[in-house]
Amino acid sequence: QKEVEQNSGPLSVPEGAIASLNCTYSDRGSQSFFWYRQYSGKSPELIMFIYSNGDKEDGRFTAQLNKASQYVSLLIRDSQPSDSATYLCAVTLSHTGTASKLTFGTGTRLQVTL
């Protein structure tokens, strides 16, 4: 079983729709959860992080965490063509430990169509 799992996609949504990206993780000790966006040939950029059960909203983005189900999701409202990218889910075992590594999922490729 992979540590962090994501559907590779591509997930295709029309412009203006809601995109829903999902991620499951295997280590129950995981503490912090991250969503990164990565454009082709570029480094990942942080979209959101979450560490408490429930929802966390930031602009058009909402992260949802359910530790009991070991599940974290990202909703993108009013999807724009510029949102087309690969979205990486990542987890770490420590909230702020500088030596705590970040483990990535395989990423979901999102395509927002006109």
Partner 1 sequence: GAVVSQHPSRVICKSGTSVKIECRSLDFQATTMFWYRQFPKKSLMLMATSNEGSKATYEQGVEKDKFLINHASLTLSTLTVTSAHPEDSSFYICSARWQGSYGYTFGSGTRLTVV
Residues that bind partner 1 (CB under 8 A): 32, 34, 41-46, 49, 51, 88, 95-107
Both tokens assigned to 63: 């992260």
Residue nearer to partner 1 on the CB measure, 17 or 102: 102
Residue nearer to partner 1 on the CB measure, 66 or 100: 100
Contact 82, 60 (CB under 8 A): no
Q: How far is the CB of 70 from partner 1 (least distance, A)?
A: 18
Q: How far is the CB of 91 from partner 1 (least distance, A)?
A: 12
| Backbone angles phi and psi of 97, in degrees to 5 | -60, 125
Widest CA span of the chain, in angstroms?
43
Residue nearer to partner 1 on the CB measure, 11 or 102: 102
Q: How far is the CB of 108 from partner 1 (least distance, A)?
A: 10
| Cα–Cα distance list, 55 to 39, 67, 76 (Å) | 25, 12, 13
Task: Please name every residue paired with 33 in a beta bridge, in sequence order, or none if there are none.
Answer: 50, 91
Residue nearer to partner 1 on the CB measure, 25 or 34: 34
